[in-house]
Amino acid sequence: MRSYGLARLLSKSIFLIFLISCGIFTILGSGGGGSDSADDVDEGSNAPSFRFLSKPFIGNYKPWQWVDHEYPMWPIVKNGTIVTYWGERSSTIGYDGHVGTDYKMPIGTTLVAATSGEVIHAGFFEQDCSVFDDNWNVHEMSGQVAIQKIVNGVVYNIFYDHMSRVDVDQGDKVVAGQPIGLSGRTGCAGPFPHLHLNVSIVGKRGNWITVDPYGWQGSAEIPDDPWATHPKGAVSHYLWKEEP
């Protein structure tokens, strides 16, 4: 009986080793190739990097305010500083928790689709600007467009804000470079006309997870992307094929 037990134990062990081996091979097999499944993209996961964005406007306007890499969760999380994609920690570049990149430009600048995709949001929508000026009654209408693009199963939303004119409708299919409206100073744009551009990955629950299309380079002070290890974070990637 003892030997029988040992034999069973041995065969069980071999089976277990077999399962573990399969598991290891499965992990190794899927490690290099990336994933095509949208189910694999959610908070905390590493989204693949694809260069699919082109300049979102006509003309030359450089970024003016940056995504806050540390916590791009305005107005929910504020910690007093902004961390840029090159790793600079500052309280003066942009504003705390900024969830996009701002490009200062004259009102009426032509905005174009930064990628082909489907318009999932377009028109003028009310914004609560009280988070800026402590006046809970300040609401402004803001011209907005969001284009959705699915790249290898990853759902990206490209969101334009503060527009003065919107020339597309929800459900429209657009191609990269196609005019979608004009820039402006609507909503909570403040004193400077600008385009606020947000790039997000859509999470499992439909939530938008801000990513920085300018990627992350790190720095001596912050060698790793703090957003990558944040419980609700996603790795930032360089997504431009034609940089503004």
CA distance 35 to 213: 20
Q: By beta-carbon distance, which residue lies closest to Zn ion?
A: 196
* Distance from the first to the final alpha carbon of the chain: 76
Least distance CB 116 / Zn ion (angstroms): 24
Least distance CB 123 / Zn ion (angstroms): 19
Least distance CB 224 / Zn ion (angstroms): 25
Please give the radius of gyration of the chain, using alpha carbons only, rounded to the nearest integer.
23
Q: Which residues are near Zn ion by CB under 5 A?
A: 100, 102, 196
CA distance 2 to 129: 77
- With respect to Zn ion, which residue has the nearer C-beta, 45 or 66? 66
- With respect to Zn ion, which residue has the nearer C-beta, 100 or 193? 100
- With respect to Zn ion, which residue has the nearer C-beta, 72 or 233? 72
- With respect to Zn ion, which residue has the nearer C-beta, 41 or 105? 105
> What are residue 158's DSSP bridge partners?
147, 199
Give the other-Cβ count within 10 Å of 159's Cβ.
20
Instruction: Give the CB-side neighbour count of residue 15, counting CA atoms within 13 A.
Output: 6
Least distance CB 94 / Zn ion (angstroms): 8
